[in-house]
C-alpha cells in the first residue's frame, strides 16, 4: 500500500473508533418518516432484456447464465463489487455439503469459480481453514468473478451493462399493475474533492445513496432502465430479477411476502410462534480480516467498546475457548510451511502473516429482534415511514441498526486482541492477543479503509409468497418438512402441536403412503416417515446444507448484559436432505415479469436457514436467468409454465432440459419417490 493510502486508512480508522454510541433515545424511537426526495429527470436510459437488481452470488450467477444465453444484461449493485457473500460481504469460506462437494455436483458457473480459485492459489484452501475446504481472500474472488462474466459475454455473445454503486429508487408499472415497464435508479460517485468510496462505512452514506439530490459527499446520476426494443409480439420484452440481499424489489413492488418467523403449523412444526413475527430474523454480520504479526501491535480501544462488551464471547457449543481455534476457523490465507503440525481441528496452527476472516455468533453477529431495532423493515413499518409512497423508497433498512452492526464488529476485533472477559464461557480462558492487526485500506481483503466488509452478510431476507397452486391454496411456499431431517416423533412435537396438527404432520411425512394414510386416518406412530426431500415437478435447481440458525435476541438492545437468544428459534436446527428448488418459488404474485432469486424466494424461515449458502445462491440465480431467457424466446410468462401443475407442460420440460444441458442440475443423482436411501448424503 502507498504511504498516502496508509495515512488515509489510519486517519479513517481513528475517525471510526471515535464515533460515539447511538443515544438510547434515538434507538427507542420507531423509524422516522422518510424525507421526500424530489424526483429528477433521468440523465440517460439503458435498455436490457434482463435487469438484475443486486450483484450478489445469485445476481452474479444470473448475469453469467444470461450472458451465455446471448442476452443484454443490466446489473445494479449497491457496492462496487460483484459476488455478494463471496466478496463484498467477506464470507469467503464456502459452505458446502460433503458428498455434493466430493462429486463436484454444482451449477456450471459455481464449479468454474471453484476451479479458478484453486488455479489462482495452487490449492483450493488457501487459508488452510477448518470450517470449509475452501477459504480465500475476498478481493481475489472479486477479480475471478469479473473475469468469468467478461468471458461469458464473449462466449455467449451477450452484453453486460454493469452499474456499481447503484440502487433502485422507483418502479414504473403498467396501467394494470401486472408488468414493470421501467425502473429508476440512482448511481452515486464521490463528490469533487472528497475521498474515494469505501472510505466510510455503509451506514454513513446509505440514506444519501437513495436520494435524488447531489450532496456534499455524493454526486448522483439518474438512470432509467427500460426493456430492449423488440419487434416481436410477446407479453413482455424484459424481466426484472430481484437478487437484492433484503428483497428490496419485492417490497417496492408490494407483492405478498413474509419476513421473520412463520407461524407454527404441520408444515413448519418447529416454529416457536403461533403468529408471524416479522422482527425476529437471523443475525447479520459485518466481517473483517485480521493478520497475525510477529510482534505485539498497538491496539486502540473504540469509544463505543464498553457498550458492546457484555455481548462478546465464544460459543460454548462446541467449546471454542481457544484463540488458535477461533483464528483458524475461517483463516483465508495461510503462510506456507513444510509439513506443518496440526491443531485439534486438523489444520496448521496460526502463525505470523496468516490472515483470518471473523464471523462469530457471540462476536460480530448482530442479532436484533424487536420492532425497536430490527434491520429489515416490515411492510407495516415501510408504510408508516412513507417508503412505499411515490419516490419514498430509501432501501427499507434501519440505518441505526446498520451502524450498530458496524460498531459491534469493530469492537469485536478489539475484544479478540485486548479483551479478558467472556459472556458465554464460565472459564477464564480469555487473555489479550495483541500480536494482530486489523487489515484496512483499499488493497486490503475487504477493500475498505475501515476494514469492514462493504456490506453485511445477510442471512435472511424478505421472502415472497408464491401464487396459489395445486395443494397451496394460500400461495406456494417451501416448508420445513419439505427438506428437514429433524426427528418429528419426539415428545417436543407431540406436546407443542395439537392432536389434529400432529396427525396432519405425519400424514404429510408419509411419502408414497400419504394417500393411504389420509384415507385410513392412520395413527402417527404407525406411519413410516419418508427419508427424502419433497420432489417437485417444476424443479429448476438444487440445494443441501444444514438448517443453521443465528437467532435474534430476546431483548432490546442486543448488547444488553445477560441477553439471551429468542427461545425456540433453534428448534429446527439440523441437517437437510438433498433438495430441489421449484420454479413456483421464484414467481411472485401480482407482477408477471418479476422473478426473484437469492434469499428472496418462497420458503419459510426454517428452509431459508439452509438455503442461504453459496452454491444454493448460484443455483437459483442460474435458474432465474435461464427461466427469463427461455420465457423471452417463447413469448410467454413464467407463471404460464406452472399453471397446470401437477400436470407438467411441454414448455416446462423444455426449460428443465435446457438447465440440465447447461450443467445446471435440477435434481441430485437417483432422485425418485422410491429412493429412500439418502443416509450417505452427509452435510459434513
Q: Grid coordinates representing 156?
A: 455467449
pLDDT of residue 360: 94
Is residue 55 a contact partner of residue 146, using CB atoms and an 8 Å limit?
no
Q: Is the pLDDT of residue 668 over 50?
A: yes
Neighbours of 259 (CB within 10 A): 25
The reported pLDDT for the residue numbered 676 is 83
CB 49 within 8 A of CB 71: yes
Cell for 29? 424511537
| pLDDT tens digits, 244-289 | 999 999 999 999 999 999 999 999 999 999 999 999 999 999 999 9
**pLDDT (0 to 100) of residue 210:** 98
Q: Look up cell 458496524; give the residue.
A: 406
Q: Are 133 and 47 in contact (CB under 8 A)?
A: no
Give the pLDDT score at 21.
34
Q: How confident is the model at residue 3 (pLDDT cuts 50, 70, 90)?
A: very low
Measured distance CA(511)–CA(507) in Å, rounded:
8
Q: List pLDDT tens digits, range 130-140.
A: 999 999 999 99
Distance CA 170, CA 399 (A): 20
Q: Which helix (H) or strand (E) element contains residue 66?
A: helix 57-68
Number of neighbours of residue 301 by Cβ within 10 angstroms: 11
| pLDDT for the residue 682 | 82
Q: Write b or e for each residue in 446-464: b if 16 or more Cβ atoms lie within 10 A of its Cβ, otherwise e.
A: bbbbbbbbbbbbbbbbbbb
Question: 476-502, pLDDT tens digit by residue?
Answer: 999 999 999 999 999 999 999 999 999
The per-residue pLDDT for 37 is: 76
Average pLDDT over residues 625-633: 98
From residue 660, give the alpha-carbon distance in Å to each of 511, 625, 655, 680: 26, 14, 9, 24
| Residue 208 host element (H or E) | helix 202-209
**CA atoms of 87 and 104, how far apart (whole Å):** 22
Q: What pLDDT shows up at residue 35? A: 62
Q: Is the peptide bond before 557 cis (omega within 30 degrees of 0)?
A: yes
Q: What is the CA radius of gyration of the chain?
A: 24
* Mean pLDDT, the chain, integer: 93
Place of cell 394417500: 515
CB of 463 within 8 A of CB of 456? no
Give the pLDDT score at 7: 41
Of the candidates 282, 364, 341, the residue with the CA atom closest to the CA atom of residue 606: 282
Give tens-digit pLDDT for 207-248.
999 999 999 999 999 999 999 999 889 999 999 999 999 999
Dist CA 316 CA 326 (whole Å): 12
Count of beta carbons in the 10 Å neighbourhood of residue 189: 14
CA-CA distance, 591 to 52, in Å (whole number)?
16
CA 52 – CA 87 distance, rounded (Å): 18
pLDDT tens digits for range 364-397 = 999 999 999 999 999 999 999 999 999 999 999 9
Amino acid at each position: 500500500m502507498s504511504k498516502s493510502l496508509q495515512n488515509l486508512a489510519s486517519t479513517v480508522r481513528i475517525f471510526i473508533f471515535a464515533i460515539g454510541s447511538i443515544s438510547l433515545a434515538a434507538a427507542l424511537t420507531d423509524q422516522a418518516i422518510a424525507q421526500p426526495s424530489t424526483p429528477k429527470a433521468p440523465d440517460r436510459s439503458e435498455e436490457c432484456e434482463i435487469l438484475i437488481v443486486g450483484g450478489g452470488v445469485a445476481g452474479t450467477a444470473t448475469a453469467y447464465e444470461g450472458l451465455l444465453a446471448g442476452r443484454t444484461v443490466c446489473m445494479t449493485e449497491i457496492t462496487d463489487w460483484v459476488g455478494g457473500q463471496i466478496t463484498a460481504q467477506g464470507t469467503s469460506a464456502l459452505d458446502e455439503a460433503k458428498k455434493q462437494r466430493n462429486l463436484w455436483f454444482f451449477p456450471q458457473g459455481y464449479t468454474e469459480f471453484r476451479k479458478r480459485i484453486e488455479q489462482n492459489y495452487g490449492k483450493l484452501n488457501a487459508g488452510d481453514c477448518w470450517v470449509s475446504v475452501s477459504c480465500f481472500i475476498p478481493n481475489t474472488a472479486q477479480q475471478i468473478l469479473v473475469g468469468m462474466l467478461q468471458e461469458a459475454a464473449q462466449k455467449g455473445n451477450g452484453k453486460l451493462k454493469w452499474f456499481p454503486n447503484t440502487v433502485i429508487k422507483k418502479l414504473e408499472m403498467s396501467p394494470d399493475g401486472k408488468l414493470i415497464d421501467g425502473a429508476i435508479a440512482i448511481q452515486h460517485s464521490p463528490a469533487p474533492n472528497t475521498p474515494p468510496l469505501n472510505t466510510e462505512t455503509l451506514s454513513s452514506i446509505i440514506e444519501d445513496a437513495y436520494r435524488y439530490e447531489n450532496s456534499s459527499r455524493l454526486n448522483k446520476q439518474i438512470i432509467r432502465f427500460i426493456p430492449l426494443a423488440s419487434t416481436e409480439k410477446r407479453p413482455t420484452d424484459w424481466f426484472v430479477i430481484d437478487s437484492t440481499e433484503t428483497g428490496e424489489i419485492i417490497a417496492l413492488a408490494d407483492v405478498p411476502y413474509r419476513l421473520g418467523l412463520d407461524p407454527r403449523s404441520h408444515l413448519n412444526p418447529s416454529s416457536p410462534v403461533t403468529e408471524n413475527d416479522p422482527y425476529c430474523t437471523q443475525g447479520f454480520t459485518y466481517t473483517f480480516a485480521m493478520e497475525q504479526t510477529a510482534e505485539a501491535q498497538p491496539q486502540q480501544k473504540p469509544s463505543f467498546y464498553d457498550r458492546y462488551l457484555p455481548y462478546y464471547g465464544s460459543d460454548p457449543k462446541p467449546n471454542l475457548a481457544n484463540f488458535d481455534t477461533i483464528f483458524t476457523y475461517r483463516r483465508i490465507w495461510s503462510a506456507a510451511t513444510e509439513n506443518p503440525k496440526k491443531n485439534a481441528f486438523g489444520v496448521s496452527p496460526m502463525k505470523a502473516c496468516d490472515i483470518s476472516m471473523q464471523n462469530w455468533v457471540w462476536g460480530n453477529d448482530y442479532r436484533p429482534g424487536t420492532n425497536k431495532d430490527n434491520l429489515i423493515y416490515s411492510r407495516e413499518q415501510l408504510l408508516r415511514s412513507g417508503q412505499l409512497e411515490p419516490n419514498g423508497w430509501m432501501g427499507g433498512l434501519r440505518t441505526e441498526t446498520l451502524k450498530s452492526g458496524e460498531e459491534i464488529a469493530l469492537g469485536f476485533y478489539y475484544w479478540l486482541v485486548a479483551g479478558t472477559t467472556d459472556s458465554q464461557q464460565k472459564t477464564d480462558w480469555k487473555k489479550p492477543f495483541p500480536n494482530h492487526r486489523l487489515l484496512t485500506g483499499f488493497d486490503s481483503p475487504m477493500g475498505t479503509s475501515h476494514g469492514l466488509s462493504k456490506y453485511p452478510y445477510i442471512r435472511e431476507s424478505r421472502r415472497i409468497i408464491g401464487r396459489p397452486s395445486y395443494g397451496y391454496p394460500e400461495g406456494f411456499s417451501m416448508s420445513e418438512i419439505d427438506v428437514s431431517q429433524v426427528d418429528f416423533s419426539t415428545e417436543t412435537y407431540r406436546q407443542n402441536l395439537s392432536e389434529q396438527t400432529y396427525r396432519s404432520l405425519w400424514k404429510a411425512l408419509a411419502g408414497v403412503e400419504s394417500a393411504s394414510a389420509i384415507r385410513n386416518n392412520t395413527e402417527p406412530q404407525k406411519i413410516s416417515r419418508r427419508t427424502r426431500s419433497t420432489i417437485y415437478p417444476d424443479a429448476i435447481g438444487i440445494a443441501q446444507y444444514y438448517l443453521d440458525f443465528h437467532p435474534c435476541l430476546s431483548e432490546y438492545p442486543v448488547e444488553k448484559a445477560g441477553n439471551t437468544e429468542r427461545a425456540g428459534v433453534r428448534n429446527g436446527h439440523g441437517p437437510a436432505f438433498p433438495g430441489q428448488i421449484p420454479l413456483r418459488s421464484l414467481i411472485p404474485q401480482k407482477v408477471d415479469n418479476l422473478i426473484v432469486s437469492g434469499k428472496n424466494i418462497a420458503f419459510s424461515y426454517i428452509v431459508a436457514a439452509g438455503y442461504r449458502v453459496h452454491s444454493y445462491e448460484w443455483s437459483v440465480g442460474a435458474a432465474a436467468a435461464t427461466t427469463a431467457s427461455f420465457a423471452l424466446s417463447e413469448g410467454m410468462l413464467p407463471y404460464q409454465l406452472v399453471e397446470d401443475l401437477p400436470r407438467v407442460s411441454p414448455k416446462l420440460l423444455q426449460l428443465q432440459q435446457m438447465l440440465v444441458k447447461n450443467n445446471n442440475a435440477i435434481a441430485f443423482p437417483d432422485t425418485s419417490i422410491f429412493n429412500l436411501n439418502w443416509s450417505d448424503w452427509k452435510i459434513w
